[in-house]
Chain A
């Protein structure tokens, strides 16, 4: 087990290097000179050259990347070209926002999607099943940014029940205010994802319920509840866990669209603004962080399977 884990961790490190290197190269394609930004207005060409030297921008790209890497492994992600603040603390400060958004939405969509999927699978082609699946279909077909605007228009603007976006830290307004500001973003995200989970759970459940061993269990006279929950559900949930891992990994890297519509200062918004402003250190930090979440989430899911199924470890 530890050998497997070790192998995977080494590969994770390589993946992170690969991602950061690719991002770095992409940005070298962009012709903008950050030294001018940092040097400020009224800077003479000499001053700009001085800044270039200070930031190491006059060195070849592989040297610059090497510098970035050597600092990054020590936790130093450099300084933003735009705000002159350190990148790592900025990202860290934005993370709770993204985490709040993701965790809250996840709780909602899991509590909605999975039970709906299970119930639909138990009564296929009934009216509730059809309605639930249409609801799920609409959920996965809706553009998230449009839904967000719709929610804002109806619930925040017309009805005045919720604030028009923005984020309220728990430490400032208390837990209730924090939640109050997040309800609409949560519902927007959850509406989308619940659909996927309902469909997937339903499909898997129906498949599992048709398997031989379930028929056997039924034939043996086991109570229906046990059949459903102990046997069928457990097996049908494994792909759902995979999907959840991927979704979690992706969202923790920043849900750019939702954060943009609701004005939430999370990692997605940071990454997006940084790319627009050609703020290379911030872009590197944000993209690498987002990739790290995706990679680690996948690793966690794989480990989960490795624990469950020993055959996986020896592949």
Chain B
């Protein structure tokens, strides 16, 4: 359940970022250790780099994305197993004995030389499935975030920009959506759809979460709308679309980047939750969530089937949260340094 919006103190969202202010502060204060007169972006980058945990998070994500993107190579050379290859009737050589990958009671082998993180209930390699699962979970989470951002951005922008009846109408619909328990709504939609392809899952997750973006965007745009530079643009004869997307939008980039990063974290949790319930990504396609679901009944005798995927969810979400925190601190010049 995405919580990023609630995590940001409301006042933060209302205050727009003003590059002029930042540059001025940087020029006069010496505390940041950066030579005055530097651009906002470089400044933000420096601030980000000083946050070691955030950088660690970022590195982890880069590594994970790289591994996920190169998944076929990784599984060929590192694990030597395909994530889809079952080994129900095969044996492996361990400590000089031939051992069933899956024994007669259906119990798979644990972590060993051949299956680095153990085998799952149909004899598939857990590590390979985790790497492919990273692909799926990351893809779904990132694209779903994109969908939410798109819908929420347009919705919030239009509502706040035009105000009046339009705003009232659009905001009411937003309120209606927010009244739904989102997990139940996602479950209901997923059950209602005949197909459970990745596209459907991405759309459902994106659709269920857009109101948070909408609220943030609307708040920001409402306060930006009265700014001088907007008035100036209008005076110069700019049309609505131009003002919305060329003038106002750039000011939304920073909070949306921060939101987006934290939203990916939340959507990874959301997708794995849906897959855990059996509605998201369907087996045999591996998702960290459905791996936990498949192994749940055996959690007490074959802990590795649920333990490792869950651990990866934890680390990945943690990394995105750390990065998101770091970005927020770096991009908001009025933030009190927290780390």
Chains A, B in direct contact (C-beta < 8 Å)? yes
Chain A residues with CB under 8 Å of chain B are 15-16, 18-19, 22-23, 26-27, 29-30, 124-125, 137-138, 140-147, 149-150, 152-153, 157, 196, 199-200, 203-204, 206-207, 210, 239, 242-243, 246, 250, 253-254, 256-257, 260, 271-272, 275-276, 278, 283, 286-287, 290-291, 294-295, 298
When C-beta atoms are compared, the residue in chain A nearest to B303 turns out to be A153
- Expressed in whole angstroms, the minimum distance between the Cβ of B114 and any Cβ of chain A is 25
Which residues of B from 77 to 101 have beta carbons under 8 Å from A? none
Given contacts A200-B9, A275-B187, 20 further A-B contacts (CB under 8 A): A26-B188, A29-B192, A29-B193, A125-B338, A137-B321, A140-B321, A141-B269, A143-B273, A146-B306, A150-B307, A153-B299, A153-B303, A250-B1, A250-B181, A256-B187, A278-B191, A287-B185, A291-B179, A294-B181, A298-B179
Complex A-B: 16 CB contacts under 8 Å:
A19-B180, A22-B176, A22-B180, A23-B188, A30-B192, A141-B269, A143-B273, A143-B313, A145-B276, A206-B336, A206-B338, A207-B11, A210-B336, A242-B10, A257-B183, A275-B184
Determine whether the beta carbon of B265 is less than 8 Å from that of A141: yes
Determine whether the beta carbon of B188 is less than 8 Å from that of A149: no
Cα distance, A312 to B306, chains bound together (Å): 49
Query: Across the interface, which residues of A come within 8 angstroms of B309, CB to CB?
Result: 146
Determine whether the beta carbon of B188 is less than 8 Å from that of A287: yes
Tell me, yes or no, whether B220 is within 8 Å of chain A by CB.
no
Determine whether the beta carbon of B306 is less than 8 Å from that of A149: yes
- Expressed in whole angstroms, the minimum distance between the Cβ of A15 and any Cβ of chain B is 5
Which residues of B from 16 to 65 have beta carbons under 8 Å from A? none
Determine whether the beta carbon of A146 is less than 8 Å from that of B181: no
Cα distance, A229 to B138, chains bound together (Å): 43
Cα distance, A66 to B181, chains bound together (Å): 23
When C-beta atoms are compared, the residue in chain A nearest to B266 turns out to be A140
Cα distance, A260 to B336, chains bound together (Å): 41
Tell me, yes or no, whether B198 is within 8 Å of chain A by CB.
no
Query: Given A19-B176, A137-B318, A146-B313, is A290 in contact with B184 using a C-beta cutoff of 8 Å?
Result: yes
Query: Across the interface, which residues of A come within 8 angstroms of B238, CB to CB?
Result: none
Query: Across the interface, which residues of A come within 8 angstroms of B276, CB to CB?
Result: 143, 145, 257
When C-beta atoms are compared, the residue in chain A nearest to B187 turns out to be A275
Query: Given A30-B191, A196-B3, A207-B336, is A19 in contact with B179 using a C-beta cutoff of 8 Å?
Result: yes
Q: Chain B contact residues (Cβ within 8 angstroms of A): what range?
A: 35 or more
Query: Given A19-B179, A207-B11, A275-B191, is A140 in contact with B3 using a C-beta cutoff of 8 Å?
Result: yes
Determine whether the beta carbon of A246 is less than 8 Å from that of B277: no
Tell me, yes or no, whether B189 is within 8 Å of chain A by CB.
yes
When C-beta atoms are compared, the residue in chain A nearest to B325 turns out to be A137
Query: Across the interface, which residues of A come within 8 angstroms of B175, CB to CB?
Result: 15
Cα distance, A250 to B322, chains bound together (Å): 26
- Expressed in whole angstroms, the minimum distance between the Cβ of A41 and any Cβ of chain B is 24
Determine whether the beta carbon of B179 is less than 8 Å from that of A294: yes
- Expressed in whole angstroms, the minimum distance between the Cβ of B289 and any Cβ of chain A is 8
Tell me, yes or no, whether B292 is within 8 Å of chain A by CB.
yes
Consensus secondary structure, chain A interface: helix
Cα distance, A157 to B301, chains bound together (Å): 10
Cα distance, A149 to B305, chains bound together (Å): 12
- Expressed in whole angstroms, the minimum distance between the Cβ of A168 and any Cβ of chain B is 21
Determine whether the beta carbon of A143 is less than 8 Å from that of B7: no
Tell me, yes or no, whether B195 is within 8 Å of chain A by CB.
no
Determine whether the beta carbon of A253 is less than 8 Å from that of B299: no
Determine whether the beta carbon of B296 is less than 8 Å from that of A149: yes
Query: Across the interface, which residues of B come within 8 angstroms of A140, CB to CB?
Result: 3, 321
Determine whether the beta carbon of B181 is less than 8 Å from that of A15: no
Tell me, yes or no, whether B226 is within 8 Å of chain A by CB.
no
Determine whether the beta carbon of B181 is less than 8 Å from that of A287: yes
Query: Across the interface, which residues of B come within 8 angstroms of A275, CB to CB?
Result: 184, 187-188, 191
Determine whether the beta carbon of A204 is less than 8 Å from that of B9: yes
Tell me, yes or no, whether B6 is within 8 Å of chain A by CB.
yes
Query: Across the interface, which residues of B come within 8 angstroms of A157, CB to CB?
Result: 300
Kindly supply a per-residue 1/0 record for chain B positions 276-290, scoring 1 wherever the CB is within 8 Å of any chain A CB and 0 otherwise. 110000000000010
Query: Given A140-B3, A271-B184, is A26 in contact with B192 using a C-beta cutoff of 8 Å?
Result: yes
Query: Across the interface, which residues of A come within 8 angstroms of B180, CB to CB?
Result: 19, 22, 287, 291, 294
Cα distance, A147 to B309, chains bound together (Å): 12
Kindly supply a per-residue 1/0 record for chain B positions 299-339, scoring 1 wherever the CB is within 8 Å of any chain A CB and 0 otherwise. 11001001101100110011001100100000000001011
Query: Across the interface, which residues of B come within 8 angstroms of A22, CB to CB?
Result: 176, 180
Cα distance, A199 to B3, chains bound together (Å): 12
Determine whether the beta carbon of B181 is less than 8 Å from that of A276: no
Tell me, yes or no, whether B272 is within 8 Å of chain A by CB.
yes
Determine whether the beta carbon of B292 is less than 8 Å from that of A146: yes
Query: Across the interface, which residues of B come within 8 angstroms of A243, CB to CB?
Result: 6
Query: Across the interface, which residues of B come within 8 angstroms of A206, CB to CB?
Result: 336, 338
Q: Could you say which of A125, A239, A257 contacts B10, with CB atoms under 8 Å apart?
A: A239
Q: Could you say which of A18, A27, A196, A287 contacts B7, with CB atoms under 8 Å apart?
A: A196
Determine whether the beta carbon of B318 is less than 8 Å from that of A141: yes
Query: Given A153-B303, A256-B183, is A146 in contact with B188 using a C-beta cutoff of 8 Å?
Result: no
